[in-house]
Amino acid sequence: MALYSEKVMDHFMHPRNVGTIDGADGVGEVGNAKCGDIMKIYLKIENDIIEDVKFETFGCGSAIASSSMATEMIKGKSIHEALELTNKAVAEALDGLPAHKMHCSVLAEEAIKNALKDYFDKNNIPYDHEKFEEMDHEQLHAQVHGE
């Protein structure tokens, strides 16, 4: 079996929603120093709907594919639906990621949540802070790599 699914390869070779949004309503950036992946998500929101979403990702193919798929999954959705996106859903939509690359889907989830948090903060919208607790990347990396 191939290490990466056809969907991962497609989103890596032909990523969707690449770029930036000038005057974005929300911007979220995350990075993992151990693996070197950095993701930045830009949101354009109107009437609580994500009208546009773009990303910039510096990282491996799985990080790019995860960013691409995650942006596709939230485009046109409400901010509340986007907030429910999980890394597991991103990985499943890509037909799976190798265990040692699951952290890439975690970064995609967190970048979106950070962009939504930025939007909420800029607009003084109250939110449940527990929904924005970050995963411990060091712990996740150690679990995945058996350290």
Nearest alpha carbon to residue 97 among 11, 20, 18, 15: 11
Write the CB contacts of 142 (distance below 8 Å, at least 6 apart in sequence). Answer: none
CA dihedral 9, 103, 29, 135 (to 10 degrees): 160
CA dist 110 and 54 (Å) reads 15
Residue 78 CA from chain centroid, whole number: 16
Within the chain, residue ranges assigned H as helices are 6-13, 61-74, 79-83, 87-93, 102-122, 137-145
65, 90, 104, 115: which is the annotated catalytic residue?
Answer: 104
CA dist 14 and 17 (Å) reads 10
- 35 as an active site residue: the answer is yes
27, 35, 74, 111: which is the annotated catalytic residue?
Answer: 35
Could you list the active site residues? Answer: 35, 104
